[in-house]
Amino acid sequence: MFLPKLFTCLKNYSKEQFIKDFTAGIIVAVIAFPLAIALAIASGVSPEKGLHTAIIGGFIISFLGGSRVQIGGPTGAFIVIVFGIVQNYGLNGLIISTLIAGFFLLLMGFLRMGSMIKYIPYPITTGFTSGIAITIFSTQVKDFLGLTMDKVPSEFLPKWIAYFKSMPTINYYSLIIGLLSLIIILLWPKINKKIPGTLIAILVATILTSILKLPINTIGSQFGTISSSLPKFVVPELDFTIIKELLLPGLTIAVLAGVESLLSAVVADGMIGSKHRSNMELVAQGTANIFSALFGGIPVTGAIARTAANIKNGGRTPVSGIVHSVALLVIMMVFLPYMKLVPMSSLAAILIVVSYNMGEWEVFKMIRKAPKSDAAIFLVTFCLTIFIDLVFAITIGVVLASFLFMRRMADVAEVKSILDSDEGEETSELLASSPTEDISFYEISGPFFFGAADKFINVIREMNFSSKVLILKMSHVPAMDSTAYHGIEMLYDMCKKNSTKLIFSELQPQPQKVLEKYGFIDHVGSENFCDNLDAAVERANLFISENHNISSTKVSNSI
């Protein structure tokens, strides 16, 4: 259903709910302000771009989205890939990548792929999320410790080697401010849960740094003057070569945005007892990313922590998300110039907490209990995210998960002679009045696809075609593909070559549709496809009887 939740929620909207939404929106804006700045800096862009993203992207996600309470903005999941794009292609490359991601998300939404994203395996999402968390933490060490370094390597191991080499340059004032900020963020919720600890940490750190004139890096010393003006419309310089190179990063951003926003929407549904519209949410995410890019922002998605904060403070409709965007705009225009005084180590503390909260650390405790295949997918995705890059990690993770899934399905699939199986007693009763020496009885069970077709073909080659009829039971075959059809066709040809009648029993809808499309049912004869075993045995006996009569007639005629 392509109808934004906002229009549904406004039908029975009340003054009381507006007050709750307004309050929640203001609180979430206060939470989002320092986070948007910190995430922008960590992504390799100027501080105001994070706010532009939260304002523009957040407004569109709330206005067009399929969730009642989703809060949109920049998130930690994008830091690694955005930083890499900025380093290699500059801001123009980032704008192009975000535009590509936006169009991919729109396509996913209009193709109704909202429910398909849930098929990305859990070990992959937890693997790259935890890997990103470690990577984000590693990017904040320099600012947290106040290390003096010309350039921080982008690769994980060289980065830590450079850190250790630069340890003698630690700025202890920066370290103290960072630790103080970290302590405030962690302990403040015990004092007051309404006002975010990140805001208090920044205020305390900034006041102390300014009053004591501490010799540490601030946003101003690193980025200069910060503009609080409204974002300007930006038209990227389009180049086919760059577009081609950025297709994969753009697709990765789209998948990340889709997965994170839909996960956030599912979590929100559980908290308020609602149900989001996944395809509309993807359309909103795509539109938000396109406009965020065109106004110089970075990728945007649904933010789980900010969405949860919205719900806990009374937000129940998209109005709270719209209020959050407008409030952020006001805060940016009034207070952004003063953000140049904020210590970098304080922002680093915020991102260290963000990285810890986004990591799926409990998975490491459960990894020994998990199936080996799932543990392998998780560890491979986790390690590749850290040591190589996110795009490669997700690609290999999906490929590995697909192969392991196919192997499991192939192991489940089975081809056997029912007369030799545990069902032999039941089958013997069915065939009690029939010449069983003239009938072979086989069954296929499980998904019948290319991974299991080889097993079927091997059984065919070992079959004894001395019987006059072969009944193939397929009641436990939910689906088959073209490779499986090739195996069925091979069986039919071998039966025909050996003058054996092939009869099918209990064909399920999907396999029947496949055989119909290939014209196989018409070729074999619809009368040889029976609804149950009794009908199949009756058909076999009729065939044997007719053949016997024909043979007898031929013998008598020859006499």
Please give the average per-residue pLDDT across 310-318, as a whole number.
93
What pLDDT does residue 423 have?
47
Mean pLDDT of 462-483: 88
Note the pLDDT tens digit of each residue in 73-105.
999 889 888 998 998 999 999 999 999 999 999
DSSP result, 410-436? HHH-EEEEGGGSTTHHHHHHHTTTS-G
Check whether 353 has a pLDDT greater than 60.
yes
Pairing of strands 529-530, 501-505: parallel
231 DSSP β-pair partners: none
Percent of the chain having pLDDT more than 90? 55
Identify the pLDDT of residue 163: 95
Nearest CA-CA partner of 67 in 160, 10, 112, 4? 4
Distance (Å, rounded) from C-alpha 206 to C-alpha 245? 41
Structure tokens at 214: 């501490």
- Distance from C-alpha of 416 to C-alpha of 472, rounded to nearest angstrom: 10
Q: What percent of the chain has pLDDT over 70?
A: 94
pLDDT tens for each residue of 196-246: 899 899 999 999 999 999 999 999 888 877 878 888 898 888 888 889 999
Q: Bin 471: left if φ > 0, else alpha if -120 < ψ < 50, else beta.
A: beta
Residues 6+ apart with CB under 8 A from 173: 146, 214, 215, 216
Contact in structure between 288 and 60 (CB atoms under 8 Å): yes
Max CA separation in the chain (angstroms): 123
pLDDT of residue 436: 56
Instruction: Please give the DSSP secondary-structure letter assigned to residue 554.
Output: H
The mean pLDDT of 253-275, rounded to a whole number, is 89
Supply the Cα-derived Rg of the chain in whole angstroms: 32
CA nearest 300: which of 351, 253, 350? 253
pLDDT band at 465 (very low <50, low <70, confident <90, very high): confident
Span 37-54, mean pLDDT? Answer: 93
Quote the CA–CA distance of 242 and 93 in Å, as a whole number.
7
More confident residue, 48 or 422: 48
Q: Which of 48-52, 230-234, 481-485 has the lowest mean pLDDT?
A: 230-234
Q: Which residues belong to CATH 3.30.750.24 in the chain?
A: 414-558
> Could you read off the pLDDT of 410-446 as tens digits, one per residue?
888 888 877 654 444 444 455 555 555 788 888 999 8
Q: What average pLDDT does the chain have? A: 88
**Residue 408 or 291, more confident:** 291
Reported confidence tier of residue 266, pLDDT bands at 50, 70, 90? confident
Lowest-confidence region among 12-16, 409-413, 529-533, 552-556: 552-556
- Facing residues of 73 across strands? 301
Provide the CA 84 distance to its chain's centre, in angstroms.
21
pLDDT of residue 358: 83
d(CA 265, CA 275): 8
Confidence of residue 382 (pLDDT cuts 50, 70, 90): very high
Q: What is the pLDDT of residue 555?
A: 45
414-558: CATH class: alpha beta
Q: What is the pLDDT of residue 549?
A: 62
Three-state secondary-structure class, residue 225:
coil
